[in-house]
A and B are shown apart, each in its own frame.
Chain A
Amino acid sequence: MRPEQGTMQSRAMAMAALLELLTDQPVIICNGFPSREAQKIADRPTHFYMIGSMGSAAAIALGVALSKPNKQVIVFDGDGNVLMGMGTLATVGALKPKNFIHVVFDNEVYGTTGNQPTISNVVPLEKVAKAAGYVNVERVREREDLVYEFKDMLKKDGPSMLLVKVNEMVEDAGRVMLDPPDITKRFMQAIK
């Protein structure tokens, strides 16, 4: 059954709930619909929108987290992205950056290319993260649980992974409007 039985929440709804809890933390957002939706929900200079290099969101965030140990760094990732760069779960688990929160919006499909299935319906990514050495991992479906666990992770030492099961609904959001070099400059300035 797909998406996971009982999953009613869309990624955009889940993302909006999380963005309400964030202020000036650096957020790295994976390519495809997640970046477009985040830009529509709340465009902040502390957002780094990926438009390509699928699979790299967590690695970019890791570079930021290691270089800015006093800032909590958030990744908004997808199941297809995590599967593509799964080695990075091991790197994060081994290096154990305390300031690293990895949110995975898991809709079990490659949404941007037409909802072809991923394999996250049978591979529990939060368990992979736990086995790799993430300190806190949670899997949630409901909005209340999502908000509760995310608030909790913001208070804890990481690395943490919050996997949120979402449905395949996509927000009507246009492409990322900023030019890539401007995204870089704006983000660098904002996290100084």
Chain B
Amino acid sequence: MIESDTFVQALQDIGVDFFTGVPDSILGGIIAELMERRLYTPAVREDEAVAMAAGAYMAGKIPAVLMQNSGLGTSLNTLISLNYIYQQPCILIVSWRGQGGKDAPEHLVMGEVMPQFLDTMKIPHRTLTEKTAIDDLKWVAETFMKKRIPVALNITKGVVKGLHP
């Protein structure tokens, strides 16, 4: 399991300097660490978070948006008709609720279709694993710089230490 502070430090090391989002339990440890470091600006909806990230990017920041995968639905229009078409990249750190069909009922459909959903939205994505973490973050940084569009790093349960391990 990756420690939250290691993960946050790795994001800072690739240059991320603006963090916003809406919480999820899988992301609890990461958000706690970001708050500890006074780096986190909370949003009230995921579409607001990605629009804030767009503004931050244009003001010279490298933004990351944390969200539960249900937030992909909430932010769909903003992601494609703002961030994507205006070429305002951001790093989406998306918790993969409902993966493998083991979760509360409201997460099961999105959990099942999430990879295809991201493909349909033309958002490049990868799922973080402890073994490949260094490569995964390198890929995120490279895709962000090269494509200038939102790029998603999916986080499954238990890969980064949460608040209640």
Q: Which of B119-165 contact A (CB under 8 A)?
A: 148
Q: Does A184 contact B (CB under 8 A)?
A: yes
Q: Which listed segment binds B: A17-25, A45-53, A115-123, A136-144?
A: A45-53
Whether A67 contacts B59 by the Cβ 8 Å rule is yes
Whether B51 contacts A53 by the Cβ 8 Å rule is yes
Q: Which of A66-109 contact B (CB under 8 A)?
A: 66-68, 85, 87-88, 90-91, 95
Asked, given contacts A52-B82, A53-B77, A184-B87, whether A91 binds B48 with beta carbons under 8 Å apart, the answer is: yes
Whether A56 contacts B59 by the Cβ 8 Å rule is no
Determine the chain B residues whose CB is within 8 A of the CB of A87 once the complex forms: 44-45, 48
Asked, given contacts A53-B81, A91-B44, whether A62 binds B58 with beta carbons under 8 Å apart, the answer is: no
Q: Does B72 contact A (CB under 8 A)?
A: no
Whether B55 contacts A62 by the Cβ 8 Å rule is yes
Q: Does A180 contact B (CB under 8 A)?
A: yes
By CB atoms of chain B within 10 A, which of A53, A87, A180 has the most? A53
Q: Which of B1-45 contact A (CB under 8 A)?
A: 18, 20, 41-45
Whether A191 contacts B52 by the Cβ 8 Å rule is no
State A61–B58 Cα separation when bound (angstroms): 10
Q: Which residue of B lies closest to A60 (CB)?
A: B55
Whether A60 contacts B59 by the Cβ 8 Å rule is no
Q: Does A28 contact B (CB under 8 A)?
A: yes
User: Could you tell me the distance in whole angstroms from the C-beta of B148 to the nearest C-beta in chain A?
Assistant: 8
Whether A90 contacts B44 by the Cβ 8 Å rule is yes
Whether A63 contacts B86 by the Cβ 8 Å rule is no
Whether B44 contacts A63 by the Cβ 8 Å rule is no
Whether A59 contacts B88 by the Cβ 8 Å rule is no
Whether B58 contacts A56 by the Cβ 8 Å rule is no
State A188–B58 Cα separation when bound (angstroms): 5
Whether B43 contacts A91 by the Cβ 8 Å rule is yes
User: Could you tell me the distance in whole angstroms from the C-beta of B108 to the nearest C-beta in chain A?
Assistant: 27
Q: Which of A165-182 contact B (CB under 8 A)?
A: 180-181
Nearest first, the 3 A-B pairs at minimum CB distance are A63-B55, A52-B81, A67-B59
A selection of 16 A-B contacts at a CB cut-off of 8 Å is: A28-B55, A53-B77, A56-B47, A56-B48, A56-B51, A59-B47, A59-B55, A60-B55, A61-B55, A63-B51, A66-B18, A67-B55, A88-B44, A180-B85, A184-B58, A184-B88
Which residues of A approach B to under 8 Å, CB–CB?
A: 28, 48, 50-53, 55-56, 59-68, 85, 87-88, 90-91, 95, 180-181, 183-184, 187-188, 191-192
